[in-house]
Structure 1
């Protein structure tokens, strides 16, 4: 493990203007940390001589405002260095998967001047901190010593889908953001953001590719679990709190911030048939109810919190949708000047970073368009998302996106050459690049990365996933549970007429489905093999889904299609088997709004969850914690109602089984709605 050496400020200044750097050197008072760049003092001001010219240049002077420093640095950069800063790369991992290869870091940062990289590492907190520091060490060795921005998809939740979220191995675990919406408390959401901010920073991550302000108005859509539900005002309030938590306040970035990138601008949730915009077949949006402005309104909270970044959606608006009296161009939002320059920058005054979603400049090959051959696992080779620009060249896509307003490109080929060639060919002006690069650099200066980009490797494991954060996440899991049914149930030896939950202490024998038997036995229960021998049954299941496009890269990984339980479904058969002979508790993971009509009729108690461990769930069942959630979206009564509703309109299905905002509470002889 690499150690830093700390020097008091007086000692630094007293060294006569030059500090020889060993493996690592830092000034504790002024928070300078270096691994290769000399630490110098000029006129009493200690600084990192990042370009190693022996003098204090404006971009190295932390007394100056970030914008002034950024302008100075841009004037010193080559065209290639500017183009590199506009790339957000995906580095290659080591064989162990808990770090990045030295060759990848040298190529991306040292050779191509890449300005940002996404981390999908899922090792220990210390291993992630070590990897982050290795990347920053390579960056410090470059000509100008520009630090790299390290980002991540959400990693504090339950569902793991490559390209949308990261497996949680080192952080505290909270319900999905739909669960935070079920609790509905902006203070809790802000606290979540603050906890996650500290965990990200502990391992060297300084940007989160979240939150999703998208509205979950199409119940079949696979990305619902990352949203705050379908109500635009609720989403706006909670997005504002989320951004404030991650960015360490509502007044822009500071040295304690993690950059929040709100997504996906705009209308992503109004997907035709619920198919996702990562897929060629799912690129189209639809607004049959004319509710486009609801989807825009959900982003207002992010702007109120001075969000630092915005990510445009992949999806293509429908023909006939207008903005400021003109039809929207039928291209993905990353190519839309109307959506990025006219609406986002013009109407809302956003002047932060616009970061494209991944791979919008890459070609979508035959497998990407038509699916992989049967029997061949769909991979990411040949994958691209250039919707509306499929026939253009890679360079033309870069030009179109830069003209639209994109500052940085996520998940491109990691090669700045098309941008450089576009400038040299007169298709894009270097002055336009300067605007984007200044925005990128201002954020790095504001975070203090030029002074100290390094994570404390020894402290990473003490901060990320510490006991207090884990306990707070567990409490939120429990509070987010939505109690949908709590019926009086006749139970052997336990009396009649009492609500099923909290469990009567006399009930000891239980039949389980999808629940860890060891965790249940540890609570003093006897686990039986036959539900007929049980006092009650406990079944865990999830919203039904189909894999309708198994030959597509993302279609093979996403939940699409139906939402109702049907005969032959293994979990539904378990519910039927148990409920026929014994009172049955069912909890359903609501990554999408399930149709629970034939579950609710069989369950003595029914709870919707948004990610919860067995241990946390058992606390609630036994009354040690209480469910407080309200549905952040309605639960439809049938698939016919799902098919008849408008994809862009909130809570509009006919006769929903459980309406938006529904939730029971424990208390009295029966559960009560609030």
Structure 2
């Protein structure tokens, strides 16, 4: 890949002839004939007994078509041939819009043909063969364009359980694994590597070649809402998982391979240290801060990505409030516009040489209504989505120039290349910088093998995506991730279930006729596990109650159950009725569980698991192996007093970092002692 200095030198060294094309390229190297596929617009030609795709349809072998050349040389050749309009299109990462289970071709075709955009994010939730056919149709349209540049199609994560608009996609046909925070609970990088390889195979089978993941952020601020996408709270423990994920998706430790998927590691850097846990998708949440002086730990997970030559980095929306790295306070603009964070730190100190993809909406407007917007309202409003933090008062061309000049190579979520052209015309951005960024974008498409074969087989996609072996691996990871936090029957409950006080509540040895009352669990799954499902907890031997993040308080950042939540009320109802009550809180964030412990016989924490995985563990068919990837605080006062940037530093946490039990190690008394009583606010 080209770096800032090397790229500039390379481009300067490309001598252009009268026709505006490179006068010479390096001699072809010996290489094996790759498989080629064409839809018909680009003929297959033979030169020196070898086959090539004639992407520019001129009947001759143009250097960028020659797979014997390096990806660097091919990209340099092609970008030099392009018009300014075509180069500007390279710097756009647009969105594919959907009509039912298909892409909206009326929206897509002009973006390709008129705006020359060849990188897109897909959020289509269709089945695997449909995705493959849809992507093939788009690639066929791209093949017919002047240079035949193939599409790079990206996606947000699709293999987890938590679905958040604009951040993740439903797993659908894909093999489900725990959310990344659950992989951190397992804390086995080999399992993360296996997950990465499965994700890569399934993405490539449907024609997806770029993953907008993993998150290398660390969970240091308990109220922050993006923790389920991280691998945990301690930088040194997260780094091996980031490295394993990159290796698994890209196909090795030396960068992208032709069968791999490019990774975009995010969000550079410090997103986990959000002030008061606010989300920097919103104007009021635009700051991250480092009062504990712990900025360096937030970089540590990225070192795992750099070791394995991650293809891409995505900067955070956040302004790093008053951060001083030794040369004075850095410019108070979002990281996507911050030259110090992108050029000096990322490319300079850490030598990153891949594509920097901006987060979505970093150059868009944020009018007054946008600046006043807060949760529970969605961050996208009538104005669209605008997160131009620190550069709000610049013109649109100036914002685009600000990001590209700072180091961004491709603007996420944008289909407006005219702003790049206007920035160049106005002297805000150099054409050389546009060429450098475009060359980086093209080079990765060559490395992914897309210029030789961008097409996929729908029948193969059907067999690969969600295969029995991949689903079994995902199920095993789900089961292992579950974290047993408390497991004993208090003395006061002895009479309720005729069990010995202090005896473990788990596992439940299912016997014929054993009854279960359920909240948040499918009856069919419980029946498959051997239970008879009842409608009244008073008739139940066992009650299983899932609990969602309560998202309390005015800004939805509170972590405790107040007693008003329907799932918490179900827990209390079951416990009061005398059933053996198993609480299953979903730890998308480090929740406060004092009153949950007080109203249950066992607490089994989840990070995204199926009912099958959950019931396998509850019934002893599988063992819970998870250990907390972050501490669980005891009160909101303790949360408010901790430092945004320091992990696991709240006073008197209810459960410590890496807490967790096995069935064999279940205590004889509840651990820890419950804090607030039932329904008492925390």
TM-score, normalized by the shorter chain, greater than 0.5:
yes
The residue number in structure 1 matching 2:651 is 654
The residue number in structure 2 matching 1:480 is 481
Q: Structure 1 residues 150, 183: closer, same or farther in 2, change over 3 A? A: same
User: Structure 1 residue aligned with 2:399, among 386, 394, 397?
Assistant: 397
Secondary structure, in 3 states, of the residue corresponding to 1:120? coil
Verify the 8 A CA contact 2:178 2:608 in the aligned structure 1. Answer: yes
The residue number in structure 2 matching 1:596 is 593
Secondary structure, in 3 states, of the residue corresponding to 1:234? helix
| Aligned-residue offset at 1:572 | 1.9
1:329 equivalent in alignment to 2:331: yes
| Aligned-residue offset at 1:298 | 2.0
Secondary structure, in 3 states, of the residue corresponding to 1:67? helix
The residue number in structure 2 matching 1:631 is 628
The residue number in structure 2 matching 1:561 is 557
The residue number in structure 2 matching 1:69 is 74
After the TM superposition, which of the residue ranges 151-160 and 322-331 deviates more from structure 2? Answer: 322-331
1:529-544 alignment to 2 at 5 Å? 529-544=535-550
Verify the 8 A CA contact 1:372 1:378 in the aligned structure 2. Answer: no
User: Structure 2 residue aligned with 1:527, among 523, 530, 533?
Assistant: 533
User: Structure 2 residue aligned with 1:516, among 503, 511, 522?
Assistant: 522
Q: Structure 1 residues 289, 529: closer, same or farther in 2, change over 3 A? A: same
CA distance in 1, matches of 2:471, 2:86: 41
| Aligned-residue offset at 1:168 | 1.6
After the TM superposition, which of the residue ranges 85-94 and 330-339 deviates more from structure 2? Answer: 85-94
| Aligned-residue offset at 1:488 | 4.1
1:34 equivalent in alignment to 2:31: no
| Aligned-residue offset at 1:614 | 1.1
CA distance in 1, matches of 2:534, 2:220: 42
CA distance in 1, matches of 2:569, 2:169: 32
Secondary structure, in 3 states, of the residue corresponding to 2:89? helix
| Aligned-residue offset at 1:566 | 1.4
1:561-580 alignment to 2 at 5 Å? 561-580=557-576
The residue number in structure 1 matching 2:365 is 363
Q: Structure 1 residues 339, 377: closer, same or farther in 2, change over 3 A? A: closer
After the TM superposition, which of the residue ranges 345-354 and 614-623 deviates more from structure 2? Answer: 614-623
User: Structure 1 residue aligned with 2:551, among 545, 567, 571?
Assistant: 545
Q: Structure 1 residues 547, 640: closer, same or farther in 2, change over 3 A? A: closer
CA distance in 2, matches of 1:404, 1:205: 28
| Aligned-residue offset at 1:649 | 0.6
After the TM superposition, which of the residue ranges 187-196 and 427-436 deviates more from structure 2? Answer: 427-436
Deviations 1:417-464 (A, max 9, x none): 111122233322211111111111110111110000111122111111
CA distance in 1, matches of 2:497, 2:648: 40
Q: Structure 1 residues 373, 284: closer, same or farther in 2, change over 3 A? A: closer
Q: Structure 1 residues 302, 270: closer, same or farther in 2, change over 3 A? A: same
| Aligned-residue offset at 1:519 | 1.8
| Aligned-residue offset at 1:89 | 0.2
Secondary structure, in 3 states, of the residue corresponding to 1:664? coil
Q: Structure 1 residues 655, 386: closer, same or farther in 2, change over 3 A? A: same
Verify the 8 A CA contact 2:193 2:245 in the aligned structure 1. Answer: yes
Deviations 1:303-353 (A, max 9, x none): 11111100000001112x112422111100010000000000000000100
| Aligned-residue offset at 1:401 | 0.9
CA distance in 2, matches of 1:217, 1:542: 21
1:20-419 alignment to 2 at 5 Å? 30-35=34-39, 36-94=41-99, 96=100, 98-319=101-322, 321-371=323-373, 379=381, 381-412=383-414, 414-419=415-420
CA distance in 1, matches of 2:97, 2:425: 30
1:430 equivalent in alignment to 2:436: no
After the TM superposition, which of the residue ranges 65-74 and 489-498 deviates more from structure 2? Answer: 489-498
| Aligned-residue offset at 1:370 | 2.1
Secondary structure, in 3 states, of the residue corresponding to 1:139? helix
Report how many aligned residue pairs link the two structures: 632
Verify the 8 A CA contact 2:282 2:373 in the aligned structure 1. Answer: no
The residue number in structure 1 matching 2:602 is 605
CA distance in 2, matches of 1:439, 1:668: 53
Secondary structure, in 3 states, of the residue corresponding to 2:267? strand
Deviations 1:281-317 (A, max 9, x none): 1111111111111111121111111111000000011
The residue number in structure 2 matching 1:12 is none
Verify the 8 A CA contact 2:503 2:668 in the aligned structure 1. Answer: no
CA distance in 1, matches of 2:145, 2:352: 31
1:468 equivalent in alignment to 2:449: no
Query: Unaligned 5+ residue runs, structure 2?
Result: 1-31, 672-682
Deviations 1:392-425 (A, max 9, x none): 111001111111001000012x121111122233
| Aligned-residue offset at 1:497 | 4.8
Normalised by the length of structure 1, the TM-score is: 0.91
| Aligned-residue offset at 1:381 | 3.9
Verify the 8 A CA contact 1:365 1:383 in the aligned structure 2. Answer: no
| Aligned-residue offset at 1:136 | 0.9
Verify the 8 A CA contact 2:486 2:666 in the aligned structure 1. Answer: no
After the TM superposition, which of the residue ranges 264-273 and 532-541 deviates more from structure 2? Answer: 532-541
Deviations 1:557-596 (A, max 9, x none): xxx3211111222222222222222321111100011000
Deviations 1:482-529 (A, max 9, x none): 100111464646666531111133481222222212221233322223
| Aligned-residue offset at 1:130 | 1.3
| Aligned-residue offset at 1:616 | 1.2
The residue number in structure 2 matching 1:7 is none
Aligned residues: CA RMSD: 2.1
CA distance in 1, matches of 2:554, 2:72: 49
Query: Unaligned 5+ residue runs, structure 1?
Result: 1-27, 550-559
Secondary structure, in 3 states, of the residue corresponding to 2:625? coil
Deviations 1:39-97 (A, max 9, x none): 11112121011111111111000011100111111111111111100000012222x1x
